[in-house]
Amino acid sequence: MPSFQPKSEFSSQLNARASRYLSRSKTGRFAGVGQWFRSGLFFLFCAAVYSLLYADLNPWILMISAAVLGAGIYTLVATVCHDAAHGSFAASRWVNGICVFAGFSLIGVSGKLWAERHLRLHHMYPNIAGTDIDADGSSLLRLSPSKPWRPWHRFQCWYAVFLYALVLPHLAFAEDFEHLRKARRNWPNKFSGVWPLAEFATSKMIHICLFLTMPFFMSEHGYFLLAGYYFVFVSSASLLFVAINVGSHISDKAEFFDPDGDGKLPLDWAHHQIRTSVDWAPTSRLAIALTGGANAHCAHHLFPRFAHTHNRALSRMVIKTANEFGVSLNILAPWKVVQAHMSHLYKMSRPPQIVDGRNVVG
């Protein structure tokens, strides 16, 4: 794996201030009672919306409930399961593990596998060729400069939204199987044996049972209407995931890095996280509560083991320290995050020009 430059004074100052903040925090780095209470209410809300699937509703109302449920379950995953994957929703490792498994199973994804890849790859090496799980996705889209250009990429600005609507089912029923194969090879101590396979299979079965098998056998709606419900549900969850998260790294405001011949990167770890992250409204309580802190992405990458409810204070600390050291942060208005992502998609759609063996355009 690539290696970063030695820790800078800026990084040391950030860590020192985070340690002081942690010593004053009543809940430590974990979620507080308020977050637990909101999470419980939101789970009940999602359960109530799901129950509408078995009611005698007008088809249009049913489709609206599918969209609301997709958005609701994504929000539950983002605000609870993501923190749990980082070990910060609860102090108990078992509670965090149950939250990761249960929440990700609702979208058919192996929580254990997702968490391992998210922590080991994405958080350590964002926007680095061959290591980042976000930028190294499907060959149908070119999201990073290091990815080979293909003729169909010329049109990716036009068809990307349709692929984005299928991100989560593709992750659940295509990518996850390839990821499991690689995980069993690369991390055999965690993914070999019966239990990882059982977790993987059970996550798929829970999703299929809740959203395909049970509705088809227990609902009074026709098969075509139920198929439409499922499509709206997964599309809603997928599009919300992309809208909130993708622009945080896949953006013309974020940078992409390649290691040199010795596997070394040009920056230390903290500067790398800042240069590859994009924020919007990073000190907004409402935005942090609704997105699980995805809007305060820089603070989250610098301090990934803190629950998202701490991101407001951490973002203020990062902004203050960055100003003192003359470090530029990527903070945009929400609509400009989308604009910057689309600009990056367009840039990546153009054939690269090769100069001295390097891509200099596209």
Query: Which amino acid, residue 332?
Result: L
Q: Stretch 50-72: mean pLDDT, rounded?
A: 97
Inter-residue long-range contacts of 46-53, CB under 8 Å, 24+ positions, other chains counted: 46/72, 46/73, 46/76, 50/210, 53/215, 53/219, 53/221, 53/229
Looking at the chain, the whole-number percentage of residues with pLDDT higher than 90 is: 90
In the prediction, which pLDDT does 352 show?
86
Q: Stretch 129-154: mean pLDDT, rounded?
A: 84
Per-residue confidence at 69, pLDDT binned at 50, 70, 90? very high
In the prediction, which pLDDT does 107 show?
98
CA-to-CA dists, residue 248 to 237, 277, 278, angstroms: 17, 6, 5
In the prediction, which pLDDT does 354 show?
61
Residue 334 lies in a domain: no
Pairing of strands 353-355, 358-361: antiparallel
pLDDT digits (tens, 9 = 90+) for 150-173: 999 999 999 999 999 999 999 999
Q: Stretch 102-118: mean pLDDT, rounded?
A: 97
Res. 357: pLDDT tops 70 = no
Residue 11 lies in a domain: no
In the prediction, which pLDDT does 345 show?
97
In the prediction, which pLDDT does 132 show?
60
Per-residue confidence at 136, pLDDT binned at 50, 70, 90? low
Residue 59 lies in a domain: yes
Residue 275 lies in a domain: no
The average confidence (pLDDT) of the chain is 94
Query: Which amino acid, residue 336?
Result: K
Per-residue confidence at 362, pLDDT binned at 50, 70, 90? low
Q: Stretch 21-44: mean pLDDT, rounded?
A: 96
- Cβ neighbours for 297, distance < 8 A, ≥ 6 positions apart: 248, 249, 277, 278, 279, 282
Tell me how crowded residue 158 is: count the other CB atoms within 10 A of its CB: 10
In the prediction, which pLDDT does 97 show?
97
Residue 258 lies in a domain: no
Res. 40: pLDDT tops 60 = yes
Residue 145 lies in a domain: yes
pLDDT digits (tens, 9 = 90+) for 75-94: 999 999 999 999 999 999 99
Residue 350 lies in a domain: no
Res. 134: pLDDT tops 90 = no
- Select the more confidently predicted residue: 355 or 318: 318
Residue 130 lies in a domain: yes
Instruction: Please write down the HEC assignment for all residues of the chain.
Output: CCEEECCCHHHHHHHHHHHHHHHHCCCCCCCCHHHHHHHHHHHHHHHHHHHHHHCCCCHHHHHHHHHHHHHHHHHHHHHHHHHHHCCCCCCCHHHHHHHHHHHHHCCCCCHHHHHHHHHHHHCCCCCECCCCCCCCCCCCCCCCCCCCCCHHHHHHHHHHHHHHCCHHHHHHHHHHHHHHHHHHHHCHHHHCCHHHHHHHHHHHHHHHHHHHHHHHHHCCCCHHHHHHHHHHHHHHHHHHHHHHHHHHCCCCCCCCECCCCCCEEEEEHHHHHHHCCCEECCCCHHHHHHHCCHHHHHHHHHCCCCCHHHHHHHHHHHHHHHHHHCCCCCEECHHHHHHHHHHHHHHHHCCCEEECCEEEEC
pLDDT digits (tens, 9 = 90+) for 242-289: 999 999 999 999 999 999 989 999 999 999 999 999 999 999 999 999
d(CA 278, CA 15): 20
Split into its structural domains, the chain has a count of 1
- Cβ neighbours for 39, distance < 8 A, ≥ 6 positions apart: 31, 76, 79, 80
Give the distance from CA 128 to its chain's centroid: 16
- Cβ neighbours for 47, distance < 8 A, ≥ 6 positions apart: none
pLDDT digits (tens, 9 = 90+) for 188-221: 999 988 999 999 999 999 999 999 999 999 999 9
d(CA 306, CA 17): 14
Which range marks the domain in which residue 74 is found? Answer: 31-248
pLDDT digits (tens, 9 = 90+) for 319-342: 999 999 999 999 999 999 999 999
Res. 359: pLDDT tops 70 = no
